[in-house]
Amino acid sequence: MITREQFISRLKAKSLPSLPLTVVALGEAVQDERCTVDRILGILSKDPSLSATLLRLANSALYAGTGSIQDLRSAVLRLGFDAVANLGTGAAVVRTLKGGTHLNAVKLWQHSVAVGLTGKGICILAKRHGQAETAFLTGLLHDIGKIALDTCYPEAYATVLQQVEAGALFLDAERAVLGLDHAEAGALLAAEWSFPQTIVEVIRDHHEPQPGDFLPNLIHLSDLLVRTRIPMGPADERLLVSLDDLPAFKAVMAGALQKDLDVERLTFSIDDELDHAMAFVELAFQA
């Protein structure tokens, strides 16, 4: 069985890439109340690839306004500072962790981005507008532990995937084979990458959130909803979700007017997010 210490040691031995300095600088910049468009543009000028990705995202169906934009300044203004930082981080993480040894990377990232977009949408419905961008980023990052485990322990993770194909849930198979699941592994990787503690905790707790913790419950709920659309294994193909019976749904919507919530419209809107997720992953994988 793998301990936390053994996993961290293996992460370092495998020399898993660090996030680009551009992404780190963007995150620091948007935390500064005095941040300006020129400062953001100065950081992006050092990473032409990321700049091109952000320009494409600004013109994608997810963020496009009334017309096409051709310059990065307009893209930054359209997206907003927080979205630029989170989209930049998301695109960089996807490119950095394109896939492990055995995982279907495209499918995993489509799922992860869809969870982030769904979480962002639900966050707005729940009257938590200030946490919407954080919801997107945590949703996108919630399964990075799968890639880390597949990269660090490819032979053992092949056995995990065999059990998943036989009908086991990822979490159960990982605990049985490795003794360490992707939620814990992802949190350790996020900590190594110096992500904020809030994001580390959401990744760690997204399968077993505490009742009062909004973001872990939000990502747990979004994950379940997306898995009914993009099954991550045979077990998910049998997954049925009744929102009214989910503790996570009650925890997320506790501060909102549930009587005004169109649940049917919410569930159908997830299909739109899947289309956006596929487009995001396609753009992020481009050099």
Q: What are the boundaries of each domain within the chain?
A: 4-15+100-285, 17-96
Alpha helix segments (H runs only) across the chain: 4-13, 21-30, 37-44, 48-58, 72-79, 81-96, 105-125, 132-141, 144-152, 154-165, 170-177, 182-192, 197-205, 214-227, 234-237, 247-252, 263-285
Residue-wise pLDDT tens digits, 125-177: 788 888 888 899 999 999 999 999 999 999 999 999 999 999 999 999 999 99
Average pLDDT over the chain, rounded to an integer: 87
Q: Report yes or no on whether pTM surpasses 0.85.
A: yes
Tell me what pLDDT residue 181 has: 97
Q: Which CATH number fits domain 4-15+100-285: 3.40.50.1820, 1.10.10.10, 1.10.287.70, 1.10.3210.10?
A: 1.10.3210.10
Q: How far is CA 135 from CA 130, 151, 172, 269, in A?
A: 10, 26, 25, 17
Pick out the chain residues at pLDDT < 70.
15-16, 64-66, 255-268, 286-287
Tell me what pLDDT residue 265 has: 65
CA-based Rg of the chain, rounded to a whole angstrom? 19
Tell me what pLDDT residue 257 has: 52
Q: How far is CA 234 from CA 1, 167, 254, 266, in A?
A: 25, 5, 32, 25
Q: Cα angle at 197 between 192 and 201, to 5 degrees?
A: 95
Tell me what pLDDT residue 123 has: 85
